[in-house]
Each structure stands twice: as structure tokens, then as C-alpha cells.
Chains A and B, each alone.
Chain A
Amino acid sequence: MPKVSMTVNGETVSGDVEGRTLLVQFLREHLGLTGTHVGCDTAQCGACVVHVNGDSVKSCNVFAAALDGASVTTIEGMANADGTLGVVQQAFQDHHGLQCGFCTPGMVMTAADLLKRNPNPTEAEVRAYLEGNICRCTGYHNIVKAIMAAAANMSGAKVAAE
């Protein structure tokens, strides 16, 4: 059985996995990090999005064994060190960017990936980047609002820090 070692939310973890073990199974079943959700299990819905070496990836569509040595961030790694919500998470709460919440972990991870690459996206760019994340409740409007607000809050925070 392949042995896999990776950094997850800043901590080194390792384990023996079968070749067929998906990253999302490794996170949820081996590490107990159940914040990452399995929605469609066919790489369509985006509920399982995590960051691998800084890039958003659908964790139901990659084998854990392929990621030996990788750095992975899940929704559990998005909060601030003191346990308060991170900027993107807080914006989702403030703008009611969720209803049932099932898609939210993937939405937050995709949004964070977008804002890292494009700190001041247009609304159209936000909507385009969410192409691989499906929400059946909100109609997306409040999700987009939340991400626009997070972008504004992040640039505001930078200005305040300077």
C-alpha cells in the first residue's frame, strides 16, 4: 500500500492508503476533517474543493497517493489562529452567502483561490470563477456579494495595515 505524507492545514500527516483512496476520503475518513463535503462525487459540483499547493482542486477527483509531499488546505484551515472566522468565511456569514450550507466549504475555498490570484475581481469574474461550484439554494447572488465584500475587506485591511 502506498505510504503518503503531506502537510494538511500546516500539520504534517502521514498514513498508508490504497491506490484508490481519494484525497477527500483521506481527509474525511483518515484525518477526521469532515468539513470538506462530497456532493456529486463526479467532479461537477465543487463541494469538495480544497487547496493543493495553493491551487483549488476537487478532492473527490484526485488520489491521495498522487499528492505525497503536497501542502493541502481545507476549510478547517481557513479560520484565523484565534478561532474566529477568516475574512472570506466572515463575509459569507455577513452577506448570508449560504442557506443549507452544503456547498459552502467548496465555495469558500474557490473564493479564496480567486482572491489570491485576482484581489479585485469584477462581479463577472467572480461568477466565471464559480463555474465549477454548484449551489442549489441561494441562486448565487449572496455568494457573489459575499466574495465581492471579502475582496473589499481584504484590500481595506491592507490599507489599514499600511
Chain B
Amino acid sequence: MYAFDYVKAGSVSDAVAALGDEAQPISGGQTLIPTLKARLAMPSKLVDLTGIAELKSISVSGGVVKIGGAVTHGAVADSADVKGAIPALASLAGHIGDPAVRHRGTIGGSVANNDPSACYPSACLGLGATIHTSGGDIAADDFFQGMFATALGEGQIVTGVSFPVPEKAAYMKFVQPASRFALVGVFVSKGAGGVRVAVTGASESGVFRWSAAEQALAGNFSASAVPSAPSSDGMIGDLHGSPEYRAHLVSVMTKRAVAAC
């Protein structure tokens, strides 16, 4: 691997001060380190966020689950608070990657990276979460802006995510078995904000809300009300599945998620 400067931040303000031109924040690094090895990214400086105590807490209060940016997937999966408030979220975290990856990978890293096949962005969008950043709070609806693109500004980091507790929710993931990412994953919730259906893994524009399904389910929250497959235009096509196959899976996984709610 090529050489870079390495700074371990002790606080959010330390981290923001250390970030500048060509510096890259690193959290669990489960995506970033392989990316650096492949030289797909070559920052001159890495700022490690995993030592920042204020980013490592989970709290539940006032109908909101707040998870710090440096909390690992394993910690979310094992959290009695998260399991009690939003079991679908704990289950989602417990099926990311594999056990060793879950012990390092973090929610802040996943959300900031916005991989089009990652699980967490669908939970954020599917629950109407708020993304907390060092530059302010951003609604999930405004945060995810396309494949690997977010509203996060230069030199800003994700400090946490707040999820409103829904009446019910479920996540169904059709696993791509080699990568363990979602070939298609659908997060469905029903709560104070109505019905939300968020889809990951399918679109070339990254995670998206399937509004036709949301409208249909608002009137009749049952698997039989889920529309047939959306258009395959703009869906991802690769050796694992054609755009048509992914579009079909969107409907199938939505039905399964509604049935599991």
C-alpha cells in the first residue's frame, strides 16, 4: 500500500480540524482499506474516527433510536435497546458482511460511503432517519444523492444517525453470496410518517424510495397490495443479475418485507 499520514482523532472537533485537502476520514475501514489497497482512492492523509468516544454511544429516548457514527454493526446487532425499539434495524446490522467485518465496520462509514448495494442506507431512508454530521443535521431523504454520492460536505463527517421508532418495520435482503451485499434489499416501515419503502442494490442511482408501493400500501398494508415489478430502466445490470431480474426482485422482496412486518 502507498504511504500516507495517519492521524487518530480524539474528538469530532479534532477530526474536523485534521481533515483538509486530500484527507480522508476512516472509520472501521472495511470498505476503505481494500479500496486503498487497490489504489482506487489515494488520500494523502487518513483521519481515524474510531477512537472518538462521543461517536460510540447508542441511546433510545422520546421514540428515537440514536446511534453514534463509530458504532459497529456488531454492537447495533447485539444492542438490547435497538432490538427492543427497532428489531428490524438490529437484524439488518447483524446480517451485514460477516462476523469479523461486523466487529469493525461502522454505521457512519456505511452511510457516508453510500454504496449502492449497502444495507444501512435503506434503513435510513426506509425509517425517515436524520443523519447527524459535523456540519449539521440532514434528513435521509436529502442525504443520499446517488451512487456513492451524499450531501456530506468536504471535510465533514457523519457523527450519528437518529431513527424514529416505527409501529412496525422489516428488512428483506436477497444476498449476493460472494460479496454478502444486497443483490436487492428492501426496508419497509409503517409509522407516524406513513408507509415508507426503501430499496437498495437495485438502482444505478443508489438507494431510492419506491413511491408506487408506498401509495398502494398506505391504503392496504398487505403483501397482496404490493405492485408488480417497477420499470427496469436505470436498474443495475451485472453478472449477478440483469436489470429485469433486479426489478422483479424489488417487488418480491417488498412483498416479503411487508409480510414480515
Contacts and interface: CB of A to CB of B under 8 A. Distances in A.
A43 interface: yes
B99 A113 contact: yes
A139 interface: no
Contacts of B99: 56, 110, 113-114, 129, 131-132
Contacts of B4: 19-20
A132 B103 CA distance: 12
A110 B103 CA distance: 12
B74 A2 contact: no
Interface stretch (A58-66, A77-85, A152-160): A58-66
A20 B1 contact: yes
B29 interface: yes
B50 A43 contact: no
Given A19-B3, A55-B74, A62 B98 contact: no
Interface in B94-127: 97-101, 103-104
Given A20-B4, A43-B33, A66 B48 contact: yes
Interface in B174-214: 180
A46 interface: yes
Contacts of B29: 61-63, 66
Contact of A43 (B26, B30, B46, B51): B30
B71 to A, nearest CB: 13
B33 A61 contact: yes
Given A42-B37, A66-B29, A66-B50, A61 B6 contact: no
Contacts of A46: 98, 100
Contact of A131 (B3, B37, B98, B103): B98
A57 interface: yes
A159 B56 CA distance: 38
Size class of the contact patch on chain B: 20 to 34
Contact of A57 (B6, B8, B100): B100
B5 interface: yes
A66 B158 CA distance: 19
B2 to A, nearest CB: 7
Interface residues of A, number: 28
A147 interface: no
B8 A66 contact: yes
A27 interface: no
A41 to B, nearest CB: 7
A131 B94 CA distance: 12
A129 B64 CA distance: 31
A56 B101 CA distance: 8
Contacts of B36: 20
B63 interface: no
B14 to A, nearest CB: 15
Contacts of A19: 3-6, 46
Contact of B100 (A22, A41, A66, A110): A110
Contacts of A2: 6, 8
B112 to A, nearest CB: 17
B34 interface: yes
Interface in B30-46: 30, 33-34, 36-37, 46
A68 interface: yes
A65 B74 CA distance: 22
B21 to A, nearest CB: 17
Interface string A108-119: 001001100000
A18 interface: yes
Interface string A1-32: 01000000000000000111010000000000
A65 B100 contact: no
13 contacts: A2-B8, A18-B3, A22-B1, A58-B101, A61-B33, A61-B104, A62-B104, A63-B29, A66-B29, A66-B48, A114-B99, A131-B98, A132-B97
Given A20-B36, A58-B100, 8 more contacts: A2-B6, A22-B33, A61-B30, A61-B33, A63-B33, A65-B6, A131-B98, A132-B97
